[in-house]
Amino acid sequence: MSWTDERIDQLKGMWERGLTASQIADELGGVSRNAVIGKAHRLGLQSRPSPVKANETPKKAAAPAPRKPAPTPEVEAPRAAAPVPPAPAAPVRAPAAAAPAAPAAPAPAPAAAAGDDAPTPAPQPRIISVGPGGFLRQGPGDQQAPIPPAPPRRLVPAKPSAEIADKTSLLDLTERICKWPMGHPGEADFHFCGETVNPGFPYCVEHCGRAYQAQLPRGTRRPPPPLPFGGPRVR
């Protein structure tokens, strides 16, 4: 709030009457105690002595009065006792036989036996380390024992189909058997010739006549057909 002439006059009047800065701030409204003190200082108003004196020391609390000691009761001095005659000496007896030893107490049960009643410890939190790409690393306790290898299986030859039961298959081929294919691969009855080979050839005599044909004499050969699109002719 701004300081108007009317508010300044009210400040001066209340300052001269001896009101405190807090009381002036409450009367004016909208200003704080520090603002009132700062405005009075700028207006050059008469400063007020501090309510606390520098040389005045706070009064010390009065020490409690010392208590008087309670009177002690008088105690009479003990009178001298009459002399007592000495007692006759007791007869000396033989030492008694040692008493039988008491049976030893049963040993306490081991701590393991009392472990059944003991409270079970709380499960410890499991810490999992995540590697790059979300890969979970295994801890020492997470590793599994190696899986033992499976026992070797007994290989049983498959039964041939009825179509090639009495025919030569690929597994029956040797150097002495004709290898001429009969049919097309992939068919159920595909097999090989199986006859005795012609010496020096992989096929039998019949199939050698198909695989190897004699060439005609050069003069009786037919010229090849002309090339298309007017190519060179063979003379």
Token pair, residue 90, equals 């007791």
The answer to whether residue 148 is domain-embedded is: no
155 confidence band (pLDDT: 50, 70, 90): confident
Q: What mean pLDDT is reported for the chain?
A: 74
Q: What 3-state DSSP class applies to 172?
A: helix
Query: Per-residue pLDDT for 60 more than 80?
Result: no
Query: Per-residue pLDDT for 62 more than 60?
Result: no
Query: Per-residue pLDDT for 5 more than 80?
Result: yes
The answer to whether residue 169 is domain-embedded is: yes
The answer to whether residue 201 is domain-embedded is: yes
* 77-112 pLDDT, tens digit each: 445 555 555 555 555 554 544 445 555 555 555 554
* 177-216 pLDDT, tens digit each: 999 999 998 888 899 999 999 999 999 999 999 898 877 7
Exposed, middle or buried: residue 167 (CB in 10 Å: 0-12, 13-18, 19+)? Answer: middle
The answer to whether residue 188 is domain-embedded is: yes
74 confidence band (pLDDT: 50, 70, 90): low
The answer to whether residue 131 is domain-embedded is: no
The answer to whether residue 225 is domain-embedded is: no
Phi, psi dihedral angles at 100 (to 5 degrees): -60, 140
Domain that holds residue 20: 5-43
The answer to whether residue 173 is domain-embedded is: yes
Query: Per-residue pLDDT for 174 more than 60?
Result: yes
The answer to whether residue 180 is domain-embedded is: yes
218 confidence band (pLDDT: 50, 70, 90): confident
**How many domains does the chain fold into?**
2
* Residue pointed to by tokens 């409204």: 29
Query: Per-residue pLDDT for 50 more than 80?
Result: no
The rounded distance, in Å, linking the Cα atoms of 29 and 52 is 27
